[in-house]
Amino acid sequence: MDAAKPIVEGLTLVKLGDAASQYGAGNVLLVLLAVAITALAVDYSYMLYLHYKMPPGPLPLPIVGNTYSLPEHKPWIYFEQLSKQLNSPVITFWIGRNPTVWINDAWSASELLDKKAAIYASRPRMLVFAELTGIGQANLVNMYYGDRWRVHRKLTHLGVGLQQVRKYRGFQNNESQVMAYDTLHQPEKYVTHMERYATSVVSIIGFGRRVGKVDDPLITEVIAVMQRAAELNVPSKSFPMVMETFPWLAKFPKKITPWLKPFGNGGRGTAFFYALADEVKESEAEPCYVRQIFKEAPKYDLRKEEISSLTGNLFGAGSDTSSSTLVTFTLACCAFPETLPRAWEELDRVCGPHRSPTWDDEPNLPYVKAFMKEVLRWRSVAIIGGQPHAPIQDDYWNGYLIPKQTWVQGNTWAIHHNERDFPEPDRFNPCRFLKDDPASRPFPNEKGYMTFGWGRRVCSGQGLAEQGTFISVARFLWAFKIEKAKDEAGHEIPVDIFAYTNGLNMRPEPFKCSITPRSEEIRQTIEREGQQALSELSTFEGETQYRMSTFYKTPDAGVAKHMKPVAASA
């Protein structure tokens, strides 16, 4: 028995130790729980404080804010409706713990983003679009406001500034003539011809090399990438945008997180666009924007990532958006045929059938110019005004606080569908942009629309886009009858003016239409001008050796080579 006593006492001590250990662990858990509850209470108290200080909005819940109520598709319509419900053109909506301000009215947008442009010139943190994609702060699009932003803006204006774009009218007009020529011969492929046109114009500007084939990789691959990138800016409660609400989800290793796998290693497109630029630098192509950038690179100590972004932005801002605008124009012609006869009368009177319109005709084509403006208003491509703004200091609107670095978004859809400014907003009506017409309404800027953004962050390529949209809309109105397609029984196939994609840069879902020349004389003119344009564009013929789909799979594609420091090769 004596020998067994120590064993019993030892067992007793172990049990007591276990109990003490368990008691201590319980205390630790209670302390941690108390700390968590306190932190949550403090955090939520601050959220509620901001909720009552900032513009009106739904009551946020702890941690998740209002994210749960986001619709899966077209959130801009939801914010428009929410603005009406709250009877406030500026509202606050919480994406997780971060308040976002949505501006749903032209006059408020002008007051904040235009008149206070110096305050609202920066960007907020964009985890998904900027950080996970690897773009970071090397790109003007999401760059914080400051000296480096000013350098990139200046360099961008070298390519597409207002003083530059008039120099591009020759080849822009030629490419527009070729687009009409191609559409005449393959009207069922009108979307592809519009994409080729838009991509070719920016390719000539950027690389001195046109895109002559509809299956060129700059069309078939790069536009698809740009459309995908645009989707990464639409607020959502599903992946990947939910990571803006819960940024800690991006901290997990990518090997075990399926929501991060689509991002790969991030920044892969950077090498591709730099390779395109480097290819031109070493070639005998026509003088172009890329060569100007390489010339300026030492002066501004440009890294390769920056050269790549300046080059890639030409496509992001000029190809997908311009072609989408022209597809919207085609949809409007099909859906609102009553708007066409007045345009035809004006064009026939000014131009006749033996030549297509030119920019010199613009002062004599007020209705056609109004038609173009209504295209930009009716279904704006950048439907939520592009990238968000962020104030560089605390600001106030009607007594409400807008804190520094808050995500501030202009809801272009709501702005352009405000019935006070645009009665019957879903009706396509060019007369809105004729000064003396009863349909015309006051607007806070001279253009009458806010398609290209605001303040110091207004789209750098606005002048190029407006110039190209006018000449292309005028030429297609002059050249073609654009109508609803008919089925085998001869019945018109209806079109849906609300069937649009869900990306930041929206475009119509595919639809059928009939495109035929308005007369035999006009058909002959389209043929003659198209062939002449191809002859004049021959100096820009060329083709890149790179394809985005194979660039990262081919060992000799030179990814590592192209991403060495600029100083090593410039």
Average pLDDT over residues 163-182: 96
Q: Report the alpha-carbon distance of residue 530 to residue 186 in Å, rounded.
A: 14
Backbone angles phi, psi at 517, to 5 degrees: -65, 145
- Whether 465 has a pLDDT exceeding 80, the answer reads yes
| pLDDT tens by residue, 124-141 | 988 877 788 777 889 999
Give the ranges where 267-352 is alpha helix by DSSP (H): 268-281, 289-300, 304-318, 320-335, 340-350
Q: Report the alpha-carbon distance of residue 76 to residue 74 in Å, rounded.
A: 5
| pLDDT tens by residue, 210-262 | 999 888 877 766 767 766 666 666 776 666 777 777 777 777 777 767 767 66
List of residues 6+ apart from 487 with CB closer than 8 A: 493
Average pLDDT over residues 326-337: 98
CB 234 within 8 A of CB 384: yes
- Judge whether 376 lies within some domain: yes
Has this prediction a pTM greater than 0.75?
A: yes
- Judge whether 425 lies within some domain: no
| pLDDT tens by residue, 440-449 | 999 999 999 9
- Judge whether 558 lies within some domain: yes
Q: Report the alpha-carbon distance of residue 275 to residue 318 in Å, rounded.
A: 19
What is the crossing angle of helices 320-335 and 304-318, to 10°? 10
Average pLDDT over residues 65-86: 94
- Judge whether 324 lies within some domain: yes
Residue 13's pLDDT band, with cuts at 50, 70 and 90, is: very low
What distances in angstroms separate CA 451 from CA 448, 459, 503, one per listed residue?
A: 9, 9, 16
What distances in angstroms separate CA 470 from CA 8, 167, 359, 365, one per listed residue?
A: 96, 16, 8, 10
List, in sequence order, every beta strand (DSSP E) within 463-527: 480-484, 513-517
- Judge whether 16 lies within some domain: no
Q: Which H or E run contains 221?
A: none
- Judge whether 31 lies within some domain: no
Q: Which H or E run contains 4?
A: helix 4-53
pLDDT value of residue 5: 47
- Judge whether 387 lies within some domain: no
What distances in angstroms separate CA 497 from CA 158, 285, 321, 337, 510, one per listed residue?
A: 37, 42, 18, 13, 11
Number of CB atoms found within 10 A of residue 115's CB? 14
Give the CATH number for residue 239. 1.10.630.10
pLDDT value of residue 128: 79
pLDDT value of residue 8: 42
Query: Domain of 162?
Result: 140-381+458-537+547-568
Residue with tokens 């172009």: 288
Give the ranges where 54-135 is alpha helix by DSSP (H): 75-86, 106-109
- Judge whether 361 lies within some domain: yes
Average pLDDT over residues 191-217: 91
Domain count, the chain: 1
What distances in angstroms separate CA 554 from CA 304, 489, 558, one per listed residue?
A: 21, 51, 8
